[in-house]
Structure 1
Amino acid sequence: MNSSGKFGAAVIALLAAAIVLLAINLTITIPTYSAATSVQTAYLQGLPFKVYPEEGKALTVTGIGTASAKPDRVIISLSVVTRGSTANEAQSLNAEKMGKVISALKEAGVSEDQMKTTSYTLNPIYEYPERKSPIIVGYECRNSLRVTLEEIDRAGEIVDLAVSAGANQVSSISFTLSDEAREKLKA
């Protein structure tokens, strides 16, 4: 046999070997592929999960959970707003009224730890005459207090008491959860 004949026989042998290997590969791959396509969706208490028969040891569960709790804390934000012809007058009047509010809250059993000043402002009040520069006509003092209570059923009583004592603005009443209650929900 000449060299071109030997080369042709080698090519044919390689092609035959490749076809045999391809046939073996397809025989192994096709059943695995068909098993993978038989994934089933099952339901456990209404939640879907997938079962993969060829693996047999895996279980995938997907779910969403929610937790709720009754509020155990109320946060009341209130302010005393006063005006005066001078900054000193507005501040003095504000200090007097806020002092009465704090005293009334303490008498009702609210501790100093449950009260916190959240803001204090003193601003000029302007009048804007036509075609003239603004003129300061007085001052406004605003002292804001946050009251936090564990007894949420006392919210109305505390607001009424504070307003009767001199608070003239209630900006919010928020019912919320204490840190302890939040931790219980996480568990």
Structure 2
Amino acid sequence: MKKTFLFAICLFTVLTYSQEIKLISQINVSGEGKIKVVPDQVTILATVETKGTNAKEVKKENDQQMESVLKLVKSMNLAPGDFKTKRVSLNPQYDYEKKKHTYNGTQTIEILLRDLSKYDELMEGMVDQGINRIESVTFQSSKLVQYQSDARKLAIKEAKMKAEDYVSVLGQKVGAGITITDNSQTYYPQPVYAMKSMAMEADSATPRQTMAAGEIEITANVSVSFKLE
């Protein structure tokens, strides 16, 4: 009997709570915040590729060219943590028509350049020292975390403004937020892909500007439920 009585009380409490939840007047809206910023740094993926019929010679030539590239990078006073070897490979390839093996050696270096004014100097210098493939160039902001926070705040403000627009016609007011859902996707800077092979004019005496960084866009999306008063 006691168990039945306790079960009835619990059931009544759950039903009453559910009814109270359903009776809360609320509005569900979405908001988007966008921040456009000028990038202040760039990540470059660059590769030295060598080919030949002798594996040892191909690797040796590849190492020599990458050594020259690293010397150039170090001479530009980049922090040791801002450049690193990303990939190294030495692969045999068989030519069925000529019935002989050749070898393809590659080394890829990743460079974070924090001073964009050195971009052209670095790119031209790397090609002069042996880089013959630019994999990608990705412009970024060193203040990404701050801008992501600003974008989220703008998204919440837009959501509240939408809610106020809707309920103003009904003569109601927007109350406290009930739930907030972050629908933002992880921000990945979009790389600019270069051609497989790259050549620059070595005899040009006039400094050239080949970079147009433009702007990067950081976006936040939220869904918010507000209580209506």
TM range, smaller chain: 0.5 to 0.7
Structure 1 CA distance, aligned partners of 2:87 and 2:120? 23
1:186 counterpart letter in structure 2: Q
Pairing 1:135–2:100 present: yes
Q: 1:158 to 1:60 in 2, by over 3 A?
A: same
Spell out the pairing of 1:85-164 with structure 2 (5 A cutoff): 85-129=53-97, 134-136=99-101, 138-164=102-128
Spell out the pairing of 1:28-107 with structure 2 (5 A cutoff): 63-107=31-75
Cα displacement (A) at 1:85:
2.0
More strand by share: 2
Report the TM-score when normalising by structure 2.
0.50
Structure 2 CA distance, aligned partners of 1:167 and 1:92? 15
Point out where structure 2 has 5 or more consecutive residues left out of the alignment: 1-23, 150-229
Structure 2 CA distance, aligned partners of 1:169 and 1:64? 39
The sequence identity of aligned pairs, in percent, is 25
Point out where structure 1 has 5 or more consecutive residues left out of the alignment: 1-54
1:165 counterpart letter in structure 2: Q
Asked if 2 retains the 8 angstrom alpha-carbon contact of 1:152 and 1:175, the reply is no
Cα displacement (A) at 1:71:
0.9
Structure 2 CA distance, aligned partners of 1:60 and 1:116? 48
Cα displacement (A) at 1:58:
7.6
Structure 2 CA distance, aligned partners of 1:153 and 1:135? 47
Pairing 1:172–2:136 present: yes
* Highest RCO, 1 vs 2 (Cα 8 Å, sep ≥ 6): 2
More helix by share: 1
1:114 counterpart letter in structure 2: D
Deviations, residues 77-129 of structure 1 (Å, cap 9, x unaligned): 11111123221111111111100110011112223321111111111132112
Structure 2 CA distance, aligned partners of 1:63 and 1:127? 58
Question: Which runs of at least 4 in structure 1 moved beyond 3 Å after TM superposition?
Answer: 57-63
Spell out the pairing of 1:8-47 with structure 2 (5 A cutoff): none
Number of residues paired by the alignment?
126
Report the TM-score when normalising by structure 1.
0.60
